[in-house]
Structures are given as C-alpha cells and as structure tokens.
Chain A
Amino acid sequence: MLAPVHHILPLTTIQRERVLPTNGKVNARLNQKVSPADVVAEASWAREHVLLDVAGVLNLSPDAADKLIRCKVGDRIAAGAVIATKPGILPKIIKAPREGRVAAAGGGEVLMEVGESRMELRAGIPGSVVQVIPDRGVVIQTAGALVQGVWGNGRVDTGILTNLAEQPDSVLTAGRLDVSLRGSVIIAGQCKESDTLQAAAELPVRGLILASLFPSLLPVAREMRYPIVLTDGFGSFPMNSAAYRLLTTNVKREATLNAEMFDRYNGARPEIIIPLPVSSELPPPQDAATFAAGLTVRLRRPPAAGMIGTIAALHPGLSTLPSGLRAPAADIKLENGEQVLVPLINLEVVG
C-alpha cells in the first residue's frame, strides 16, 4: 500500500515554488541568493470597480453613447475627469467619480478600476533561485533540516531557534515569555490559552513552533502577525519525538517558519527550515513510499496519536482493530517499547 511521507529530515535538499496568484512582476533573477523576507515577486490589482452607465444616464442607445465616450481601455483618469458629454443647450456631463483606470468601455458603459491592492510575494525560505517562472514567481532551492507541520497560520518569518519545551509535552504559558525572547523562533509543546499567543505577539517573537493547539484558539492563532506552525495537530498532543529531537539539537541556529496553510490539492504544507551547509547536493526527499517492515512511522490517530514508531510487521489481508473495524494494519513498535496494532491508513512514513 502507498504511504505518504512526513518529512522530518536532518539534512536534505529543499525546492519550493513560490508563485503569485495572478500575473505580476518577478523581482528575483536566476541564481540569485534570497533570504526568506525578500520580495521575489509582486503584483497589484484594482481594489474595486466602478461601472458608469453612460447610455442610461444620457438616455441614449448604447451605440450612440459609445460615440460620446472620451476614454478608452487602459487610460488613467483623474477624479472629476469628463468621461462623456451629451451636447445641447444644457449639456449633460458624466465625470469620473474617482481616480482610476479604464478596464473596459463599450455597450454604453465604462468600467473603471479604482484603488490598488498590492501583494508582495516573499521568498519564504533562504536559498538560490533555480528557476524563474515568467510573470508568476520563482523556484528556490536550499539545503538544511526540514520539519513539516500539519497546520500553519499563513505567515512567514526567520529567527534564532530557542527552546522553551523541556519535554515534548510541555505546555507553553504566557509567563514563560519574557523580553529576552524577542525576535526568537520558539520551540514549545502545547498551547492551551489565547493569552500565550497574545503575549508572544507583544514581545514580538519571530515564530512559534507548537506541537498542538486547542481548536478553540484557532481564530486567535490566525490573527497573529508572527508565524505559528503545529507539528502534530489539534488538542493536547506532545510533539513527536523525531521533530522534537531535530529541532532541539538545532537550537541557536537560524530557522525559517513558512507557516503556509496546508493545501491538500497542491501539496503546500507548513514547514520549518533550518539552513545548513552541505559539501555536495543531496537528492530531494521522496513524497511517497510503500509500507514495509522496519520503516519509521508517525501515528496520526489514537492509540498513541503523534507518536513515532517502527513497523514491526505488516499483517496480511485485513485485521480486526480494537474499534471493531477491519482494515489493512501493521504492528508498530513504539519508542517506549510498547507494540500497538494500527491501520495503515492512520500511518505516515517519517523520512
């Protein structure tokens, strides 16, 4: 059976595509070194539109109105500029209500773009630009440690990794956050109170790596301006031992949190990247594997949700689980020595 792979890797090659949602300008060049906060591409678009019904206001047919319209597509128009005039003893004039650009004109109407929304696309990870996608973005490559998460709040930042989780199941409280942590990316266990998230914002920190978060705190977590990555899920999970070990052995190194929202249809995932020097280029990690004895796995659901173990044996056919369900399953030897029967669908390979 095919197995998804959850990346927790001490050293690997990481390639990430960073593209705008719409066409724009790509600032980065091929082979350029970028840091996570660098704007690699940007786009702007109209914040809103104004539709001027010239024919209706002038009481003319669309064709007749078109003949009176003085602007064309692409023209920049100042607020109050004349759009169309109907001559007569008392001429009727239609003026632009706001400054903008003509997006469409015809059929007796003028559609104006007004205001501007801008988007700056940041590199998200440190590395080199290995491909430029014209008008859309870049592909960036780096090498280092990689820890994938299961949820992110959509922010990106970089800072020095600091550990506040003495144990994988430590609970981060607001009281632990003092001014010495300003600008840090903090490794923490669980978060159970919104005050903790707020206190981190007030410092501010450059990021929070949490094992788990109460779902009730999601609205607050989404509002935070700093990145939050969950390594294991919602509720009261301790951090999985593989991620905990890897992160805590890299304390005091610079880490980038790309707390991208998990998008199951394009594969984007929140992740923590710790850039490390390499002497030669490593192959990129595999995203899928086949379940086999000896593989290291992470358990996605109870029993032992979030724990790391090794496949001791794959059961042939279907096995009856403690829940009564029958499914392909494996015996998993957990790190504490305990062995549990787990359906394969609840496992992901760590690698």
Chain B
Amino acid sequence: MPASLVQGDSVLAVNIGAATTRAVLFDVVEGEYRLLASASTPSTAEAPFLDVSEGVRHALHELQTVTGRTLLTADRQLITPSQPDGSGVDAFVSTLSAGPALKTAVVGLLEEVSLESALRLAEMTYTRVVDTAGLNNHRRADQQIDTILRLQPDVVIISGGMDGGASRSVHKMLEPVGLASYLLPPEKRPTVLFTGNQKLDDEVKGLLGNVTSSLHFSPNVRPSLETEDLEPASRELAQIYLGVRQRQLKGLDVIASWSNGVVLPTAYAEGRMVRFLSQIYAGSKGLLSVDIGASAAVIAAGFGKQSRLGVYPQFGLGENLPALLQYTTLEDILRWCSLDISSGVLRDYIYQKALYPASIPATKEDQAIAQAVTRQALYLAVQTAKRNFPRSVRVPRPGLLPSFEPILAGGGALGDAPTAGQSLLLLLDAIQPTGLTTLILDKNDLLPLLGAAAARNSIMPVQVLESGAFQSLGTVVSVVASASYGSLVARARLTYEDGHEAQAEIKGGSLELFPLADGQSAKLTLQPARGADVGFGQGRSGAVRVSGGAMGVVIDGRGRPLILPDDPVRRRELVKKWLWTVGG
C-alpha cells in the first residue's frame, strides 16, 4: 500500500497520455523538492499493446536507467515505500488522458440555464457530446429512448431544477434515460451523473439506481438562476472518467492500485493546479495554461477565486485530427505555414497523422505542416475557451483575450519544438496574448502531475515551480493596436541592471527581441503610439520590472487580433521573417 504524500516523501508521478507516457521523479534535495529526472516512452493503451501499465513500466525502467534508482521489483511491481537501500519511492500519483473521448449525453431543463451548465461541465473532461435533450427539445420520450439506444453513451449528465424547484419536469427527463438504460445490456449501460435539484436525489436513485452502470450525484450545478457551481460536479465527473476508463483500458487497475485508487484525468489535474496557483499568486491578472496533445487541447484559466477549464478533444492532434476540418479550413491552417504547401498535401498529412497519432515530424516540411496544424488547433481551442471566461474580467478590446500573468504552455507539440523561438512564436500566434505577460514552457508536462500531487502535498508544487523546472521563454509585450504594417505602434527601452540600455521602435507587423537571460531582470519602459495599448491602458506609457528567459524580452507589434496578409507569397515571407527573428 503506498504511503500518503507528506513533506519529505519522494514522489513518483506518471502521466499516461494518448501518445506518450511520462514518468517524473521528485525528491527533496537540500531541504526543497526538486525534479530529479523524467523519462518518457510511447503509450501502450492502443493496439497492439492494449495495456497502459506496459508503457508505465517501460517509462519507469527508463527512469531507473537515468537515475540509477531501482523502482520496480523483479516481477515489475512498484517498490513503495522507499527502502533503506535507496530503492523505491514513498508515493505515486498518476494522471490519464489516453483513450477515446467519453461519449456523453447531456440532459437538462432550460437550454440557456441548466442545459448550458451541464454542457460546460461536460467540457471539463475528455468527452464528446453525442446528444443533448432539454425541455425545448421536441423529440418524444420514445424517440429519446431510441437515440440513447443507438448512441450508447458512456456517460449521461442530467441537470435541471433549481434546488427546491421543479420536480415534475425533471422526472420527465429522467424517464427516457431510465428506460433506455433498462433496455441496454448491463455492460453497455451508461454511468449517470445527476447534478440537478438536490431534493430529487432519492427519487433519482429510485428511478435509475437499478438500471445504470453506476449512478453518481453531485451538488446542483445550477442551484439558482444566477448561480453556477461546476466545481463539485467536475470532481465527481473526474471519478466517473476513471471508472469508465478502468472498464475500457487494460492495466489501469494496476496503476490505480499503485496510486491508492486515485488516477486523475490529466486535464482535471491541470485545472486544479491552475486554480491553486491563481489563488496563491493572486494578482490583478489571471493565469492561463494551455496544453495541446494527441487526445485534446486543454485550456485552464484562473482569475483569483474563479477558474475555468475547457477540454477540447475536437482540437486534439491525434486520432481525432480529421475532425479539426469540421471547425476550420485547410486554407486557414496553411496561413500559418512558412513553406508553400498545397491543401492536398495538408489534407493527406492530417489523415495520415490520424492513423499514427504518436508519430512525429522527421522532415522540415512535415515539421512546418505540424506546427501550422498545432497553431490553428490551439487558436481554435483558446477562442472556444474564451467564451466561458467570466464577464467581469477586463479585456483591452472586445473579442480579445484578457491579459494573463503568466501563461504556461505544455503538451508534446509545444514542449518538444526544436527551438525556444519556435515555441514562442507558435504560442504568440495561437494564443494572441495581450499586454504584458511571461511565457513559461512546461517541457516535462509537470503541471498536471503537480496538480495530482497537490491535494496531498501542497508544498511540493510550489517548490518545484520555483526551482526552475519550467522554462521561461521570457517576458512578452503584445501591443494591442490596429496600426498598418510598418507604422509605429510603440517605443521600448530596456534598462539592464548594469545600467546600459537598449531601445527599439516597434513597428506594426514586427517582432522585436531584447536579450535578457533567464534569472536576470531589467526595467522596461514602454511608450505606445496613439491609440495603442502596451498593457497599461490605451495610450498610456509606463515602466515595469521584467524577468528574462530563453528569448529575453519580446515586443510583439503585429497587432491584436493578428491579421495575416491575404496574398500567400507575402504572407509566407512575413511568417518566415518572424521565424527568422526568433532564431529560426
């Protein structure tokens, strides 16, 4: 039985992704938690391996080779707690995103109230909503039954009825779910989450208790018309996710037994970490985390006590990739590409990549296409997530993102880019941040793993975060301006600690970089052109202390929203120029 996480314990954390399984070892060095080593191997959830524990064991074997620390017994079981001879670990935590998105049916009462909240809840984990039903839905009960029988959802989320409110209408919604479940073979019955009027819990139990795969309850996601509370339900949904996955993925029970029965959805753990960080580092700005991998794009944002989590399998870069074309065009993807690639070649790439989600670009052309696809998928994910940000959060202009500090980025496509400059440019293009922010790259995908550990050890995440385990790309100033190409949008002056200065005039459509190494700081003075906003408000000048990073201090004068030229030759030249500016 693994020991619980307490201060001083060594912690082994494993993330089982759709393409990659990563194992990370943390331990206390000179009184503080540090990332000791990480190792990754291809995931084994899919054929021909069909056993997630195989990939985990291989990753642990790699970790053993790197660290010289024995982690597995001769029969490949985890050694826990750590032994006097230095083998083993004290605690093990795990996150999971492998597996197909859960087919989810969402049932609510009013479309713009409980149904909307339930849909937002479904978006908080790896789901694909296959059906929605509400009071305004004009399908008869028997038609709804047939829909459920045909789609065979893994999960049904039912919301509706304010606490103490409607019961008859809710009852009417439950009936098709109950009857359809009754008609399905036991192994195909859905797991049901009821997040509606809490007074109806007993009635729901009576109606659905015997006919569902398992029945879960959480506090009402919409206790009143004005209030929405998704957090407790998302916690329950995380448990449901694990339950469904344990039925679907062989070997997960082994990993769950190593981690005391708790394997968190990667996105949930990431959301938890962002919530935690946005509370402890509460400033005037929110905190944003973006992650794009084979299974989904995950956008988590914290605004003090409020947080938002969006999980978008439709923007994942793996087996779902062809579905991206339902949300965008080949031309919109190609606008990001520095090479002259035909739409046919791009389409072939998308379908071929979906056949081999874990494969990586080996040639320059493949890499250019892969980065264009990543940009567009992440761009769409951020734009989708933005709709759910609290209305109270100030944005510099309608339609733009609020200013965040910092922005954390993870996922294979971002963390594994060949150069820091390419990661930076990809993030600037896809996220299009505004104002002043620090861009931080999570190359080892630590954020969700720290989120998984945070519930039982709140010290470790903070110490690891401050230990330099994340790579700072630098400070970015994204000028909000609608200036034409080549016209002045701002003046910038960087005063280094030794007193010397660097200055630049920032022109529309350009990127300027000031070198400033990681760990160094400097004073940045910014003077926007008329109508422009450099983060201090429209037309306002100011000075601020900034930190360095791999790319120093970056002033992005390309405008927000970033509009690329229509002419493909000119556009490619510009994209090449930007790429060259950040080091190629």
Closest 3 CB pairs of A and B: A324-B418, A235-B348, A287-B48
Q: Closest Cβ of chain A: how far from B443's Cβ, in Å? A: 11
A-B contact pairs, 9 of them (CB 8 A): A49-B145, A51-B140, A51-B179, A264-B319, A267-B47, A288-B49, A321-B363, A322-B362, A325-B416
User: Is the beta-carbon distance between A50 and B418 smaller than 8 angstroms?
Assistant: no
- In Å, the complex CA distance between A197 and B179 comes to 43
- In Å, the complex CA distance between A51 and B180 comes to 11
Q: At the interface, yes or no: B358 with Cβ under 8 Å from chain A?
A: yes
- In Å, the complex CA distance between A23 and B185 comes to 8
User: Is the beta-carbon distance between A215 and B351 smaller than 8 angstroms?
Assistant: yes
Give the nearest-CB partner of A306 in chain B: B352
Q: A233-B352, A234-B347, A325-B360 are known contacts; what are 7 more A-B pairs with Cβ within 8 Å?
A: A49-B149, A51-B179, A103-B183, A233-B351, A269-B47, A321-B361, A323-B362
User: Is the beta-carbon distance between A325 and B48 smaller than 8 angstroms?
Assistant: no
User: Which of A1, A150, A300 is the most central at the interface, judged by chain B CB atoms within 10 Å of its CB?
Assistant: A300
Of B37-45, B226-234, B303-311, which stretch is located at the interface?
Answer: B37-45
A324 surroundings in chain B (CB, below 8 A): 364, 367, 418-419, 422
B344 surroundings in chain A (CB, below 8 A): 214, 235
Chain B window 335-377, contacts with chain A (Cβ cutoff 8 Å), 1 for yes, 0 for no: 0000000001101101111011011111111110000000000
- In Å, the complex CA distance between A23 and B187 comes to 11
B185 surroundings in chain A (CB, below 8 A): 22-23
- In Å, the complex CA distance between A151 and B48 comes to 16
B residues 40-73 near A (Cβ < 8 Å) are 41-42, 44-50, 54-55, 58
Q: At the interface, yes or no: A199 with Cβ under 8 Å from chain B?
A: no
User: Is the beta-carbon distance between A51 and B142 smaller than 8 angstroms?
Assistant: yes
A265 surroundings in chain B (CB, below 8 A): 45-47, 50, 99-100, 248
Give the nearest-CB partner of B18 in chain A: A264
B residues 255-277 near A (Cβ < 8 Å) are none
CB-CB under 8 A for A301 and B352, given A48-B146, A51-B141, A325-B418:
yes
User: Is the beta-carbon distance between B348 and A111 smaller than 8 angstroms?
Assistant: no
Chain B window 188-204, contacts with chain A (Cβ cutoff 8 Å), 1 for yes, 0 for no: 10000000000000000
CB-CB under 8 A for A323 and B146, given A265-B46, A267-B47:
no
B358 surroundings in chain A (CB, below 8 A): 345
Chain B window 17-45, contacts with chain A (Cβ cutoff 8 Å), 1 for yes, 0 for no: 00000000000000000000000011011
Interface range for B: 35 or more
User: Is the beta-carbon distance between A322 and B363 smaller than 8 angstroms?
Assistant: yes
User: Is the beta-carbon distance between A233 and B362 smaller than 8 angstroms?
Assistant: no
A263 surroundings in chain B (CB, below 8 A): 47
User: Is the beta-carbon distance between B366 and A323 smaller than 8 angstroms?
Assistant: yes
User: Is the beta-carbon distance between B48 and A5 smaller than 8 angstroms?
Assistant: yes
User: Is the beta-carbon distance between A234 and B48 smaller than 8 angstroms?
Assistant: no
B residues 91-150 near A (Cβ < 8 Å) are 99-100, 140-142, 145-146, 149
Interchain pairs with CB closer than 8 A, number? 147
- In Å, the complex CA distance between A303 and B54 comes to 29
CB-CB under 8 A for A2 and B42, given A234-B352, A322-B362, A345-B359:
yes
B361 surroundings in chain A (CB, below 8 A): 301, 321, 323, 325
User: Is the beta-carbon distance between B364 and A322 smaller than 8 angstroms?
Assistant: yes
- In Å, the complex CA distance between A302 and B367 comes to 10
Interface range for A: 35 or more
CB-CB under 8 A for A325 and B367, given A1-B41, A342-B362, A346-B356:
yes
CB-CB under 8 A for A303 and B355, given A5-B48, A51-B140, A51-B141:
no
Q: At the interface, yes or no: B485 with Cβ under 8 Å from chain A?
A: no
User: Is the beta-carbon distance between A215 and B348 smaller than 8 angstroms?
Assistant: yes
Q: Closest Cβ of chain A: how far from B76's Cβ, in Å? A: 14
Chain B window 401-424, contacts with chain A (Cβ cutoff 8 Å), 1 for yes, 0 for no: 000000000000000101100100
Q: At the interface, yes or no: A4 with Cβ under 8 Å from chain B?
A: yes
Q: Closest Cβ of chain A: how far from B241's Cβ, in Å? A: 16
User: Which of A5, A234, A266, A269 is the most central at the interface, judged by chain B CB atoms within 10 Å of its CB?
Assistant: A234
Within the complex, which residue of A48, A49, A215, A300 is in contact with B359, where a contact is CB–CB below 8 Å?
Answer: A300
Q: At the interface, yes or no: B322 with Cβ under 8 Å from chain A?
A: yes
User: Is the beta-carbon distance between B42 and A302 smaller than 8 angstroms?
Assistant: no
A residues 21-79 near B (Cβ < 8 Å) are 22-23, 48-51
- In Å, the complex CA distance between A214 and B352 comes to 11
Q: At the interface, yes or no: A292 with Cβ under 8 Å from chain B?
A: no
Q: Closest Cβ of chain A: how far from B160's Cβ, in Å? A: 20
Q: At the interface, yes or no: B281 with Cβ under 8 Å from chain A?
A: no
Q: Closest Cβ of chain A: how far from B337's Cβ, in Å? A: 14
User: Is the beta-carbon distance between A327 and B47 smaller than 8 angstroms?
Assistant: no
